Amino acid sequence: MRSDAVKKGVDRAPQRSLLRATGMTDKDMEKPLIGIANSWNDVIPGHIHLNELAEEVRKGIIEAGGVPMMFGVPGVCDGVAMGHAGMRYSLASRDVISDCVEIMVQAHCMDGWVGVTNCDKITPGMLMAGGRLDLPMIIVTGGPMEPGQKDGRLLDLQSVFEALGANKAGKMTDEEVLEIERCACPGQGACSGLFTANTMACLTEALGLSLTGCGSMMATDARKKALARASGMRIVELVKEGMTARKIVKKGSFINAITLDMAIGGSSNTALHIPAIAADFGIKIDLSTFDEMSKKVPHLTSIKPSGPFYMKDFDAAGGVPGMLKRLQNDLSDEMTVNGITIRTVAKNAKISNEEVIRPKTRPFHKEGGIAVLYGNLAPEGSVVKQAAVSEKMMKFTGKAKVFDSEDDAMKAISSKKIVAGDVVVIRYEGPKGGPGMPEMLSPTSLIAGMGLSDSVALITDGRFSGATRGPCIGHVCPEAFDKGPIAAVKDGDMISIDIPARKIELLVSEEELKKRLSKVKIVDRKPTGALAKYRKLVGGASGGALCR
């Protein structure tokens, strides 16, 4: 066993002495050491219950003949961090998390590990570590939150952000906003729509790295603890079988994950996370793969924010296994941590609601949830969650109103300076320019709440929350900080967006664009500390914002 490096032979007496101080016995020295990367904290609603799941994982490891070794992993709540300087730390935390797992597992010679996780950057960070370490691993995601309720209406976090927009438009009082605030997020779990956290949980299952049913199973579901315990037992078996992460996850596994992503209409943030995770598995996935799959795979469910259903409805209808059943002929038959292939998982699945998980003959949209747009404004690509865009905004030409920060844009939107026909351009919010590529649910929700999501577009070199809906195009690459074309846009310029044709164009001549770019003065926020280090290491959004 790999852990013999710290517990076998007389020369390892000092190490064993320290391990004994943690409670290990002579018999334990013969067993595999299994890490539990536990991202529990009492800051994130999606994580407040993870200690309970981690404890079940611990029990399962012991029952299967392993020694559990639990350690903590940091986590940022994107919702709490939204709309202020804290959001610049969210994407940067993804790499910190992967580093934390790598450091703990490698430094202590663990034989395998289980990631207990749930939210936006924590799950991708753990998956990145899995590719790097190439050890036996399983991910246990904590599950979605129940939707909130008020006067018979179901609510989620997006409802609160959009209530603010209605408030700014004079359509809702402060008291009414407060009532929605108090009801929208009723307890433990990742925000209840198909936002980034729940999208990544579903895609982890499609990658083959969670036990069947984990991705969509509710945080409050009693089965979740049983699944966590089974995961603890299964990781010990994987160690004994020598079944490492890279033996399970192949390029076909990533194609399967993207296929599922398109069918469920997942968060646009997957276009950042999947390429980054793949890179740590030694596999190349880029934006072109997403667009290729989007044209092939129909959108077969319609979960908030793009549709009427919640994750609870999706899970009850069959969840990830049910959707895989719809897609089984499109799947590469890769292995999973269950010890069976993904097509076997799909074949054995059941679908109980044909409206929530529709057949291919009756899709919600003929194309997948995400589209990648190119043009003189985004030569290296940009990303839109097309499943959340109304038909009337799939083609749109409007007048640019340009802002060099999210804060400036928020002030303009709040003061009603944005009107129908505008294209809001927010720049210097990319991986380097932000730095940290902050999510922008606040401006998009204000626009929606003010009733402008069918008449105003938003373009940024930053990114959007998975809760965003409407014609919101992010990940514009190259970013403004790298003197990408977005840096040259001026107020009053006309911008053309054609999602079906995958085009985004600044309607100025090539000569004029070059002239403007030659005179651009970069906005530099002069970050310090962790963000300064992040800027030095991070690459462009089109490659997954990899830190190298």
- Residues with a catalytic annotation lie at 465
Helix ranges, 134-250 (H)? 157-168, 174-184, 196-207, 223-241, 245-248
DSSP code string of 312-335:
HHHHHHTHHHHHHHHHGGGS---B
Beta partners for residue 234, in sequence order: none
Residue 174 has which token pair?
Answer: 């402060």
Q: What DSSP state is assigned to residue 351?
A: -
The size of the chain, in residues, is 548
- At residue 277's C-alpha, the angle toward residues 271 and 280, to 5°, is 140
**Sequence-separated (6 or more) residues with CB below 8 Å from residue 218:** 143, 144, 146, 189, 224, 311, 312, 315
How far apart, in whole angstroms, are the C-alpha atoms of residue 39 and residue 126?
Answer: 10
End-to-end CA distance of the chain: 31
- At residue 226's C-alpha, the angle toward residues 269 and 255, to 5°, is 30
DSSP code string of 62-105:
HHTT-EEEEEE-----HHHHTTSGGGGGHHHHHHHHHHHHHHHH
Q: What is the CA radius of gyration of the chain?
A: 23
How far apart, in whole angstroms, are the C-alpha atoms of residue 369 and residue 266?
Answer: 6
How far apart, in whole angstroms, are the C-alpha atoms of residue 498 and residue 397?
Answer: 8
The one-letter amino acid at 228: A
- Cβ(318)–Cβ(167) below 8 Å: no
* Helix, strand or coil, per DSSP, at residue 141: strand
Cα four-point dihedral sign 120, 121, 124, 127: negative
Q: Give the up-direction half-sphere exposure of residue 209: CA atoms within 13 A in the CB hemisphere.
A: 39
* Helix, strand or coil, per DSSP, at residue 500: coil
Residue 117: which H helix or E strand, with range? strand 112-117
